[in-house]
Structure 1
């Protein structure tokens, strides 16, 4: 088999990432050398490759579905929103520019060739490349210089599988409408449909699918049923609005309640996925001071706008709730930006340009932001008691450099000793912080931390025995099973092998009418 396919969705969170991962898993299990690709990703959930490149976590997850190491070519353009109007743009895993929504449109011309080169390189090295679109191809206001949807399909001559989310309702209008607003040359590439998140008996859709074919000349390749818990490595915060799975029954007598502060500019919230995989551990995202005070563990995750999120914490009264927790000896864990805002001060002339800002004062550290972003994988040993001397690993994505305050006045101890013998992170009382993302994916360190939380809270909680890596593999297999069991694999293979089908009809909505006028 050889070829490539672009998976687009009628809207964000329609299921593009999971469908792409499912197709990758299905092909890999059949012995196909397959790789994922997303030309342009807007997400603050990211991962670091072995070469030190930063890409979207969804593409790292899709690479895992393929059974291969992630690399920069799988996500050549990553856009990380840093506020309401500005974003950091990374090209091939490295910071490239800061842009507004308008200036990014002008930047696209310089990004197109690197994107096409990255895809071409993957196609030369793999039997199949499963590409994922961004947002929706029906965002016609952004069609000019499009890099990720129909612009990519046209430039690379890719067939497009269009995914619609039936759980939101109106799936047939989503699919037909998306097709209809495209011009004829773009419509030519929309080869087939796929319906996602269906609850109930799929045979009741048959009349609608027949009408869909009559209207468009395109077939549906299948209907994927609704499945709970398919939230692995979500790429944007829309996933946080979905109900989370109830935790598995506890091994011990008690459960643990983990409250994750939902920062406005939250990043890498997938760091807590591994906590939720432990039996008897409930994880929820919240902005409630009541939740923060009552939880057994509070996690303050990463942020792409640390100073702005610190200001919002104060406005919401969460600073006082965190102070009361610390005084009561109730555990708090800050990760990356969450670690930085727990310190005494932040000096930021890079991200927020706010200068020196007082932190929450719960850890004796001071953070200085530097123009160059630090991107690397790390390993070491848990140095402080909560980590139990366990082997640890993670990755860093940061401009901020947290350091203990002046010698002699520092209370507490380093949380980790790196493989090179350097201190990393800090622990003071029940407040801990680290710059390392992915730390909690290590089974020994995660369970040591949770046992420390249980002891501090007087809970009879015991860890599970299933490795988180096995949980990930199981979830990826579920995605592959969905494709194998509910998608016409022969038709899918034909699209990959044959490319864009010939003779597909065009829906003509492109007739000029009188212009709208403002009322």
Structure 2
């Protein structure tokens, strides 16, 4: 077939990533050779490909849904926000400088060629490519430099379906207005709509969908019900909200539970690291941003960040540094991952990421951190010593910081030459490795230790929690939802027919 479809959004966080994941899985289960694609992603949640390239975490999950290894082909341009106005650019998996809103247009021609070449290559190799848009397709102020939404759809001559999150309210207006504000050529590519996160009686919504069809000339291809059990791989900052509970929504009723406070840093990256803990029965994980919550939890986690030095200053401004020191002094667990690990040291010397030079760290680990211009991006394997011997572990690294000197015990070791990675002092431990907590045997052993340090030795860790199996189950759950509630045959039909279907242009808002 060699077709393609763009799944666009009426708003940011409408559920595009979930819909693309589910479509990829549902089509792959039909024996269709399908691949995901997001031309330009803006996210600090990233993954590492087997060859050391960096892509958006959502595209790695979508590749998994297709039965494929992650590849830089699936996300050729990744923007990682370093401030409100500038982002670090990753092109075809490799760092490629920085970009600001004002100078974006100057890079457009180069980046457009990159994304269209990759899309054409994927279309030649696969039956169908399911493309994910970025934000809302109705950001008409950005249309002139767009390479991820209607600009991509025009360049690839592909149909578009628009997703709206009805749980937010106003979906019918969102879908109508999103279509109406587009130019006539872009409107002609919009084939129809999907409603996401619907609660209640579908019969009450049906008249509205029929009126929407009368107003726009476009059908709604499905109404996907709200499913509280879907929670993996948050894509952007909107999904990582303070107070949000990570993981399955229901507790299992165990008498002894562990509470985990994951600190919601302003420039948090790879927030998905904490999901593995949330998979465990009896472990409650929540995002927090105040010192009291950090002090009260059984376990505190400092996650990764795209701005280590500035986020460290934020910690201090909120008194969270004192809460972490208090925990360490009392022998209560603190875990730092990547940027969070770097904060735990004595000093951070950073002339690369922040340009701030040397700053004082939290001083909870006897080590110094030096930032290097060369970024480390790689998948890694090693081993860790546990109560019953030694277990193999794997993960991935994405960081500029280097451990320049460390006197602490190693948390894990890498390779035959036993290179130390990470550090442990009492109840404080950290590592540059993302994904470490997804190693099942390692995580279970760690939880026993953490529970003892938290004063809850009666906590019993589940013997069979399998994070990879849970992730597979999540992907299948999404695919099952779409198979049951979306007209997949109709979507395959519009993919086969391609762009240029006979749909009307809405003039209500264009002519005044």
Tell me which interval the TM-score lies in, with the shorter structure as reference length: over 0.9
Aligned to 2:396: 395
Aligned to 2:188: 188
Aligned to 2:472: 473
Query: Are the aligned partners of 1:247 and 1:280 in contact in 2 as well (CA < 8 Å)?
Result: no
Instruction: State the 1:502 CA deviation.
Output: 2.4
Superposition map of 1:52-67 within 5 A: 52-67=52-67
Distance in 1 of aligned mates of 2:211 and 2:509: 22
Change (3 A) 1:124 1:389: same
Q: C-alpha deviations, 1:242-290, integer Å up to 9, x for none?
A: 5544354166x41110100110110001001111010000000101211
Query: Are the aligned partners of 1:275 and 1:283 in contact in 2 as well (CA < 8 Å)?
Result: yes
Distance in 2 of aligned mates of 1:510 and 1:346: 54
Q: CA RMSD in A?
A: 1.5
Q: C-alpha deviations, 1:377-433, integer Å up to 9, x for none?
A: 0010114x589632111000001112334xxxx2x3011110242110000111001
- Which segment is superposed worse, 270-279 or 494-503? 494-503
Aligned to 1:517: none
Change (3 A) 1:14 1:386: farther
Query: Are the aligned partners of 2:164 and 2:171 in contact in 1 as well (CA < 8 Å)?
Result: yes
- Secondary structure at the aligned position of 1:210 is classed as helix
- Which segment is superposed worse, 81-90 or 53-62? 81-90
Q: C-alpha deviations, 1:20-79, integer Å up to 9, x for none?
A: 000001001111111100000000000000010000000000011111101001000000
Instruction: State the 1:165 CA deviation.
Output: 1.0
Aligned to 1:128: 128
Aligned to 2:499: 500
Q: C-alpha deviations, 1:355-383, integer Å up to 9, x for none?
A: 00000000111111111111000010114
Change (3 A) 1:499 1:340: same
Aligned to 2:362: 360
Query: Are the aligned partners of 2:245 and 2:284 in contact in 1 as well (CA < 8 Å)?
Result: no
Distance in 1 of aligned mates of 2:508 and 2:88: 37
- Secondary structure at the aligned position of 1:320 is classed as helix
Aligned to 2:459: 461
> TM-score, structure 1 length as denominator?
0.95
Structure 2, unaligned runs of 5 or more? none
Instruction: State the 1:179 CA deviation.
Output: 0.3
Structure 1, unaligned runs of 5 or more? 514-519
Q: C-alpha deviations, 1:180-234, integer Å up to 9, x for none?
A: 0000000010001000110011121111111111111100001000011322111
Query: Are the aligned partners of 1:386 and 1:449 in contact in 2 as well (CA < 8 Å)?
Result: no
Aligned to 1:334: 336
Query: Are the aligned partners of 2:15 and 2:196 in contact in 1 as well (CA < 8 Å)?
Result: yes
Instruction: State the 1:463 CA deviation.
Output: 2.1
Distance in 2 of aligned mates of 1:2 and 1:109: 25
Aligned to 1:47: 47
Aligned to 1:249: 252
- Secondary structure at the aligned position of 2:434 is classed as coil
Change (3 A) 1:172 1:386: farther
- Secondary structure at the aligned position of 1:390 is classed as strand
Is 1:415 the counterpart of 2:411? The answer is yes
Aligned to 1:144: 144
Query: Are the aligned partners of 2:181 and 2:510 in contact in 1 as well (CA < 8 Å)?
Result: no
Aligned residues: 506
